């Protein structure tokens, strides 16, 4: 049977003796996000490179993603990561049956039993680090060491010496994350590379926002502030709502995303008298229209962000972004591409948002600088080819260039 790549070109299925690549991702795809698009693009490229690909997720993929991966010839499976013992047993059976040449783990920790299981099956291992290691899961709580720090560090060094050899390569999504991987898990520098995320540049650069404004009944003259984020304490959405109370100017805040903090954020907005100034749109597959409709985008995170896909998407849409001094985000907007404010500082955030809303020329300059940087650095094809190069270095027989279309 013939399959098609992400651009719709017809390609032949990989021969039975082709190298087998597994991607194992503790991710429950819900939307048409850039992470999901990265994986679909990689699946298409693997088919063209002559590999047989299997992608494992923690939940069933949405219809658009299932269709796209099926069209690329990717075998999609589900592994329930919420039940570790059952997941390890099921994964052992998968590995024993498939004996893949390479397993690429996403959102799986280096010392997970799944890594050891894949290694025991003879696979080469790539671990993709999407989070900053060594930070508390809740930034509002101080971490309490279970054992003295010197003993803890000694234990971690011993663990690293025993288990780091299971992983052949580690890929960090930013230099900030790479540093945390070296500092927390003592990863050898020669095993570690930085590959920044990629996005579909045209999707965000060519979007229009008038239809979304019409849908929301927001007049052309009303300023709109956008935030695309998981709504959880560490993301700082409550801080942004408090900042909007200071901004005034009849500006509208649009929050896109879901999470455990939605009800608390709604209640906060109501208590501040912002009922007509904050709208929660939930998950959407058309976030590009949100960027196009907004005058300013904000990422108010309270913890150290590993990368900032939303920031790059907004930059591609030529929107200035206000970010906190959080992880990798300040580097993304450096050089006049956005504004950086301290974490947790609602006054500074309100000031930055207000200045941008009041200055059309400043927004335009920042937006154009942001778009130029995004177009130069964050294209999806660059990301895919860099990932494929990592695969080809570990897997004999994987074609470094695409097989010709049928």
CA-CA distance, 336 to 320, in Å (whole number)? 9
pTM: 0.90
Closest CA to 177 of 304, 332, 306: 306
CA distance 88 to 406: 39
Q: Is pLDDT of 139 > 90?
A: no
The pLDDT assigned to 401 comes to: 60
Residue-wise pLDDT for 299-355, tens only, equals 999 999 999 999 999 999 999 999 999 999 999 999 999 999 999 999 999 999 999
What is the model's pLDDT at position 1? 37
Strand partners, 324: 341
Q: Give the pLDDT confidence of 187-233 residue by residue, as tens digits.
A: 999 999 999 999 999 999 999 999 999 999 999 889 999 999 999 99
DSSP output for 33-92: -HHHHHHHHHHHHHHHTT-EEEEEESSPPPHHHHHHHHHTT-EEEE--TTSHHHHHHHHH
Positive or negative, the CA dihedral 266, 272, 275, 280 is negative
Residue 244: half-sphere exposure toward Cβ, Cα within 13 Å = 34
What does the pLDDT read at residue 65? 96
Domains of the chain: 3-198+379-394 (3.40.50.2000), 201-377 (3.40.50.2000)
12: confidence class by pLDDT, cuts 50, 70, 90: low
């Amino acid at each position: 049977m013939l399959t098609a790549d992400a651009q719709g070109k017809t390609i032949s299925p990989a021969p039975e003796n082709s190298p087998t690549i597994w991607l194992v991702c503790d991710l429950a795809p819900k939307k048409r996000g850039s992470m999901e698009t990265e994986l679909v693009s990689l699946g298409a490229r693997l088919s063209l490179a002559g590999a047989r690909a299997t992608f494992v997720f923690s939940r069933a993929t949405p219809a658009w993603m299932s269709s796209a991966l099926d069209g690329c010839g990717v075998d999609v499976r589900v592994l329930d990561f919420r039940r570790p013992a059952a997941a390890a047993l099921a994964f052992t059976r998968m590995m024993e049956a498939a004996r893949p040449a390479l397993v690429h783990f996403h959102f799986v920790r280096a010392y997970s039993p799944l890594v050891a299981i894949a290694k025991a099956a003879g696979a080469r291992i790539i671990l993709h680090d999407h989070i900053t290691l060594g930070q508390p899961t809740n930034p509002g709580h101080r971490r309490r060491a279970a054992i003295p720090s010197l003993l803890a560090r000694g234990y971690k060094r011993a663990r690293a010496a025993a288990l780091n050899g299971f992983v052949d390569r580690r890929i960090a999504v930013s230099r900030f994350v790479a540093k945390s991987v070296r500092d927390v898990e003592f990863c050898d520098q020669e095993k570690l590379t930085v590959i920044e995320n990629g996005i579909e540049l045209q999707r965000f650069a060519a979007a229009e926002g008038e239809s979304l404004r019409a849908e929301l009944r927001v007049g052309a003259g009303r300023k709109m502030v956008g935030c695309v984020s998981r709504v959880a304490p560490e993301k700082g959405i409550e801080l942004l709502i408090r900042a909007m109370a200071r901004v005034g100017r009849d500006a509208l805040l649009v929050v896109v995303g879901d999470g455990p903090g939605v009800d608390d954020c709604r209640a906060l907005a109501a208590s501040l008298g912002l009922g007509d100034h904050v709208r929660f749109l939930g998950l959407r597959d058309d976030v590009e229209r949100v960027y196009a409709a907004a005058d300013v985008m904000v990422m108010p995170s309270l913890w150290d962000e590993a990368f900032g896909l939303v920031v790059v998407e907004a930059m591609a849409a030529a929107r200035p972004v206000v970010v906190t001094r959080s992880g990798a985000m300040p580097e993304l907007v450096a050089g006049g591409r956005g504004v950086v404010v301290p974490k947790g500082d609602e006054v500074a955030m309100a000031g930055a948002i207000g200045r941008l809303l009041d200055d059309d020329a400043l927004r335009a300059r920042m937006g154009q600088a942001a778009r130029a940087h995004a177009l130069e650095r964050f294209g999806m094809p660059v990301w895919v080819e860099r990932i494929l190069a990592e695969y080809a270095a570990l897997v004999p027989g994987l074609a470094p260039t695409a097989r010709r279309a049928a």
